Amino acid sequence: MKRFLFWTGCCVTGILIAVFAVSGMPAPADAAEVGGVTLPDEIEVAGEKLVLNGAGVREKYFFGADVYAAGLYLKEPSTDAEQIISADETMALKIHILTGMLDSENFTEATLTGFDESTDGNTAPIQDEIDLFITAFAEEINPNDVFDIQYIPGEGVKVFKNQKSKPAVVVPGMPVKEALFGIWLSQRTEKHLQELRKDLLGK
């Protein structure tokens, strides 16, 4: 009986993998351990369940260590970066800081570079929103700090630090949401960011 149940379970798992492979859809991610931390396989944002689409580590040899672990959460798994960036639907990024070498100034500078690249240098139309967004990282950043970046339609981007009930900042508007998620999902010039992009897309 035990052998039959084991064989049946293996067959079901194999069938599910085959279905996702044939359909071209990514299989839903389990809880992911990246950079020595575990990211949950699903979270709830504004009453909606979001599943872990992909997770990876931001590497930076300048620091001599992994910088942060990141997970992308969506309503349905997707490998289509442009569709995710442009979708007016609830989604989230979870960023878990891994090194003490990263400080507020470094993180802010990297974020501004990301906005510049994700908008092809055209940040002027959303500069006020960008300025508001980066205030979320003004306080000291320490290892094991966790930033939850959430987009909620009709409300905007919310940034929570260390699971506080009140967001550090709320930034309204779709244009800044598109540019923000483009930091991680658009084509970036740095190789390690390209690799993180693939991980978040579950590729």
- Same domain for 55 and 123? yes
Q: What is the pLDDT of residues 99-150, one digit of tens each?
A: 988 899 999 999 999 999 999 999 999 999 999 999 999 999 999 999 999 9
What range does the domain containing 11 cover?
A: 1-25
- Same domain for 138 and 87? yes
The whole-number pLDDT of residue 22 equals 41
- Same domain for 68 and 138? yes
The whole-number pLDDT of residue 17 equals 38
Domain count within the chain: 2
- Same domain for 148 and 192? yes
The whole-number pLDDT of residue 59 equals 83
The whole-number pLDDT of residue 87 equals 98
- Same domain for 18 and 113? no
- Same domain for 38 and 16? no
- Same domain for 107 and 179? yes
Q: What is the pLDDT of residues 35-52, one digit of tens each?
A: 899 999 999 999 999 999
The whole-number pLDDT of residue 31 equals 66
- Same domain for 121 and 138? yes
The whole-number pLDDT of residue 101 equals 86
Question: What CATH number has the domain bearing residue 176?
Answer: 3.50.70.10
- Same domain for 38 and 75? yes
Chain-centre distance of CA 89, in angstroms? 15
Burial 114-152 (b: 16+ CB within 10 A, else e): bbebbbeeebeebeebbebbbebbeeebeeebbbbbbbb
- Same domain for 73 and 119? yes
- Same domain for 180 and 100? yes
Q: Are 151 and 85 in contact (CB under 8 A)?
A: no
Q: Where are the beta strands (DSSP E) in the chain?
A: 32-34, 37-39, 42-45, 48-60, 65-74, 91-97, 146-152, 156-161, 169-171
- Same domain for 46 and 100? yes
CA distance 81 to 187: 9
